[in-house]
Amino acid sequence: MVPKFTARVLLNLDFRHKRPIIRPINRSLKEVVSVSITHPILADISAGISELKKNPMAVIEQGEGAPVAILNRNQPVFYAVPAAAYEALVDKLEDIELAAIVRARLDEPEIEVSLDEL
């Protein structure tokens, strides 16, 4: 049998009023252990999936142009990426691919071509 563990408070961030909400909770040790597994969050801003459902554009605006990690039960499930940030990401990936092609062709012999021959 798993011993009972009582957590004193649960701290959530209320995005509407931008202040913390403290609620008392009771959980078993098994639940606390399953929740305490850490996951990397690769964004400066995060929001719960329920906040995203209520007002998706407000969640995106909180990121101020950067990706927002969307959490479900304190675990990241996806990232909401604004169009401009996604376009910049794709541009950088294309630049990396082109740079790899340039490096691969760097040692190939040069061929002289005049514009008239094209």
- Say if 101 falls within a structural domain: no
What is the phi/psi pair of residue 106, to 5°?
A: -60, -35
- Say if 108 falls within a structural domain: no
CB of 26 closer than 8 Å to CB of 7: yes
Domain count, the chain: 1
- Say if 17 falls within a structural domain: yes
- Say if 3 falls within a structural domain: yes
Residue among 71, 12, 10 at smallest CA distance from 43: 71
Residue 20 lies in domain: 1-37
- pLDDT of 87 above 80: yes
- Say if 73 falls within a structural domain: no
Confidence of residue 111 (pLDDT cuts 50, 70, 90): confident
- Say if 28 falls within a structural domain: yes
Residue 36 confidence (pLDDT): 52
- Whether pTM exceeds 0.75: no
β-pairing verdict for 19-23 and 68-72: unpaired
- Say if 10 falls within a structural domain: yes
Confidence of residue 96 (pLDDT cuts 50, 70, 90): very high
Tell me how many helices (H) and strands (E) the chain has: 4, 7
- Cα 96 to Cα 100: distance, rounded to the nearest angstrom: 6
- pLDDT of 31 above 90: no
- Say if 21 falls within a structural domain: yes
